[in-house]
Amino acid sequence: MLEEKVKSALDDVRPSLQADGGDVEFVSISEDGKVSVKLTGACGHCPMAAMTLKNSIENYLKKEIPEVSSVVGV
């Protein structure tokens, strides 16, 4: 159930990443709410990837899904 919520929320942020030639893939979620994702395409090699991960993806997921504690890139 939680995994599906996270995947759905990632679908919400995906269009803005795709507009810049990138994307995000769900990898896993731990019991303590840590979401692991993989940035791909242009986002995978962008020097701003860490900022995108924390300021965009993590903030959105934490706002939409209170169970999410953090988001990390793999």
**Residue ranges covered by each domain of the chain:** 2-73
DSSP 24-74: EEEEEE-TTSEEEEEEEEHHHH-TTHHHIIIIIIIHHHHHH-TT--EEEE-
pTM of the model: 0.89
pLDDT given at position 2:
93
Contact 35, 72 (CB under 8 A): yes
Is CATH 3.30.300.130 the right assignment for the domain spanning 2-73?
yes
CA distances in angstroms from 71 to 35, 45, listed in the order given: 5, 18
Read off the pLDDT of residues 15-62 as tens digits, 9 standing for 90 and up: 999 998 999 999 999 999 999 999 998 888 888 888 888 889 999 999
